Amino acid sequence: MPVRRVAVTGLGVLASCGIGTEAFWNGLCGPAPVGERRVLDFDPTPHFDNPKEVRRADRCTQFAIAASDMALSHAGNLIADPLRRGVLIGTGIGGIETLEAQIKVMVEKGERRVSPFLVPMMMPNAAPAAVSMRHCFQGPAENTCTACAAGTHAIANAARMIAYDRCDVVLAGGSEAPFVRTAIAGFTNMTALSSSGVSRPFDADRDGFVMGEGAGVLVLEEWNMAVQRGATILAEVLGGASTADAHHITAPSPGGVGAIACMELALEEAGISPEAVTHINAHGTSTPLNDMAEAEAVNKLFGSSGPLMTSTKGITGHALGAAGALEAVAVVLAMQKGLVPPTAGFATPDPEMPEINLVTGEPAAWSPGPALSNSFGFGGHNGSLVLGPA
């Protein structure tokens, strides 16, 4: 990244495998669950001033606020001017829970009974708006809505705001709460979801993704400011990239050519060669076409004995627009722990898939170095983020 270095000084996370960084990490290294990956036992009330505010926030926004609170608490006392504090939070489908509920109200009770809070609750930018108001972040407060690449794009774009001297601090990540009947039916009928309810990234028997939900938020901070205030620097954002396959609304481009271009551009921005990359947190959704395309891309760029690679979606499921943010948190935690979590659900190698250096079974010991986090979404949206150890 040019001009200014970007430090990661705080993490906040909610996922089906755990709320908070330690629970989340322990879940990533634990046994693979079966079925939907919902965030259980989540209580939003500590993150709001009163019950009325909770009722007027969609679950997607509640997740984002909670993850932001955790991340800010982790980062400690920030000193930036409010006008130089930003919020970039991505989502794939935003407040769809509110939308479905209010459509049902309209059908059953009529248009006049639709809530006047429908629009501010369902809009994709509700989460960054609510976070900015809660913490008085008066710089850019924006939403990235690029399907499953949204969280990754949000973090990369937030880092550029710091690198190019627009902001000194940015809360960046993604949030998603997609568990409504309409969304589940849509994904089911397009045969994107696993019929077995098991997430098997890169496995020969993979048959679709398992739905997940949650939020991940990182505190990004200008490096020298973080040092001066005595912050604990967890990692560094080295670069990122975004490309479009320009091929198909759901299928990846053949041979993973869009993914290759995205990873190459991210490494170029980071100023490192493919040989310097030591770990990849894969998009790895457990769908036949996407896993094959990503494996082809990684094999072509890094070779068969390339970086340690894992897909944490075997544990978290696919949290759509929040996925890249959850996985960025996982990469930073992997650096802290000196371990790469295994690809849960993997059992049978696919004989037709190019060879990749996939971590399976148990966490792998790792001397932290530059790492890639990949996200490839519907619409052909590709995102890659390069993170380095502090």
Q: Using CB atoms within 10 A of its CB, is residue 49 exposed (0-12), middle (13-18) or buried (19+)?
A: exposed
Contacts by 24-29, CB closer than 8 A, 24 or more apart: 24/329, 24/330, 24/333, 25/330, 25/333, 25/337, 25/341, 27/315, 27/316, 28/312, 28/315, 28/316, 28/330, 28/333, 28/341, 29/339, 29/341, 29/342, 29/363
Q: Which residue in 17, 60, 74, 148 is the catalytic one? A: 148
> pLDDT tens digit string along 24-50?
999 999 998 877 899 999 999 999 999
What the block records as the tokens of 238 is 């080295």
Residue 304 has what pLDDT? 86
> Rounded mean pLDDT of the chain?
96
Q: What is the average pLDDT across 13-27? A: 98
Report percent pLDDT > 70 for the chain: 99
Could you tell me the pLDDT band of residue 1, with boundaries at 50, 70 and 90?
Answer: very low
Q: Which residue in 47, 74, 153, 283 is the catalytic one? A: 283
Residue 256 has what pLDDT? 92
> pLDDT tens digit string along 67-123?
999 999 999 999 899 999 999 999 999 999 999 999 999 999 999 999 999 999 999
Flag whether pLDDT at 151 surpasses 80.
yes
Q: What is the average pLDDT across 117-141? A: 97
Residue 148 is among the residues annotated as catalytic for this protein:
yes
Q: What is the average pLDDT across 219-242? A: 98
Residue 283 is among the residues annotated as catalytic for this protein:
yes
Flag whether pLDDT at 2 surpasses 60.
no
Q: Which residue in 47, 74, 318, 381 is the catalytic one? A: 318
Flag whether pLDDT at 150 surpasses 70.
yes
What the block records as the tokens of 170 is 């940015």
Domain extents in the chain: 7-379
Measured CA to CA, the distance from residue 124 to residue 111 in angstroms comes to: 22
Q: What is the average pLDDT across 306-321? A: 97
Q: Name the fold adopted by 7-379.
A: Peroxisomal Thiolase; Chain A, domain 1 (3.40.47)
| Cα-based distances in Å from 43 to 65, 66, 174, 180, 318 | 12, 9, 19, 19, 22
> pLDDT tens digit string along 201-214?
999 999 999 999 99
Flag whether pLDDT at 286 surpasses 90.
yes
Amino acid making up residue 1: M
Residue 248 is among the residues annotated as catalytic for this protein:
no
Q: What is the average pLDDT across 232-254? A: 94
> pLDDT tens digit string along 348-388?
999 999 999 999 999 999 999 999 999 999 999 999 999 99
Q: Which residues pair with 7 in a beta bridge?
A: 221, 236
